[in-house]
Amino acid sequence: MSHFMNWLGAFLNSLAFAPLFGVLITLGAFLFGQKLYRTSGQHPVLQPVIIGIVLVILFLLLLDVPYSQYYQSSYLLHAMLGPATVALAIPLFQNARRIRTLLLPILCTVTVGGTFTVSVAMAILWLLDASSQSLLSMPTKSITTPIAVIVSEKIGGIPALSALCVLLTGALGAMLGIPIMNRLGIKDDGIRGLTLGLSAHALGTARALEENDECAAFSALAMSLTGVLTALVLPFVVGWIAF
């Protein structure tokens, strides 16, 4: 038994240094999460992306693999992020007519909704007497991680904390967004998608893709607009306010 465990440990350690180690464990974790999600009858808490993230983290901790090593070995997946993002233009194009008719309400919703969610989160931190750096790390919680990290660093926040806030916000939105809207009787796919994209960015959009093309289109649009507006406006707003 001890011989087998030693062999298994040596095998796992050698696997951790394989060129495509990151790709293999990421795909494996996601496929397992997807299988679990379908087996559970698509339980909202068992989102495949969330399960995949948790499994990858546990696997890296178990093998004591540095994140930098995992990041380098998953470069193929990073290269595919661009085409995958561009592919979101397909549902946008398919629903372009309705989006054009609702463009002004969409812009108003994204502006007001984004401002409100950030303001509430920062107000809670302020009441809890959080540090200025913590406060400045919160406004980027509803945009995608790459943008959030850059903006957070620019305005004086903590990029790592911002990334964590983004992950938690997206995870909670993806898990609870649809059940809450179902409970409230919100059936319009455009509204559901806009809510997911505005509040839960990429993870919310991944959840919207499970609904239908219209929901995915509005989610992708809200995610994009929220990211752009936050990146452009937030540095100027922070410059006017003394923390």
- Under 8 Å between Cβ of 140 and 148: yes
Number of Cβ within a 10 Å radius of residue 114: 23
How many domains does the chain divide into?
2
Task: Tell me, yes or no, whether 167 and 131 share the same domain.
Answer: yes
- Residue 4: the pLDDT is 47
Of the residues 83, 117, 150, the one at which a domain ends: 83
The token pair that represents 210 in the structure block? 């499970």
Task: Tell me, yes or no, whether 112 and 199 share the same domain.
Answer: yes
Task: Tell me, yes or no, whether 68 and 147 share the same domain.
Answer: no
pTM (predicted TM-score): 0.78
Q: What does the pLDDT profile of the chain (243 residues) look like in tens digits?
A: 555 445 545 555 555 566 678 888 888 888 998 898 888 888 877 888 888 888 988 888 887 878 778 878 887 877 777 677 777 778 888 888 888 888 898 899 888 888 888 888 888 888 888 888 888 888 888 888 778 888 888 888 888 888 888 888 888 888 888 999 999 999 999 899 999 998 888 888 888 888 888 889 999 899 888 888 888 888 777 767 655
Task: Tell me, yes or no, whether 8 and 102 share the same domain.
Answer: no
Task: Tell me, yes or no, whether 122 and 75 share the same domain.
Answer: no
Q: Using CA atoms, how far apart are residues 196 and 61, in angstroms rounded to an integer?
A: 31
Task: Tell me, yes or no, whether 220 and 118 share the same domain.
Answer: yes
Task: Tell me, yes or no, whether 67 and 110 share the same domain.
Answer: no
Task: Tell me, yes or no, whether 73 and 185 share the same domain.
Answer: no
Task: Tell me, yes or no, whether 121 and 167 share the same domain.
Answer: yes
Please classify residue 159 by burial: count the beta carbons closer than 10 Å to its beta carbon, then call 0-12 exposed, 13-18 middle and 19+ buried: middle
Q: CA angle, corner 157, sides to 240 and 220, nearest 5?
A: 90
Task: Tell me, yes or no, whether 25 and 93 share the same domain.
Answer: no
Q: CA angle, corner 54, sides to 87 and 82, nearest 5?
A: 20
Q: Using CA atoms, how far apart are residues 100 and 138, in angstroms rounded to an integer?
A: 32
- Under 8 Å between Cβ of 74 and 22: yes
Of the residues 32, 61, 83, the one at which a domain ends: 83
Q: Using CA atoms, how far apart are residues 214 and 6, in angstroms rounded to an integer?
A: 52
Range of the domain at 28: 2-83
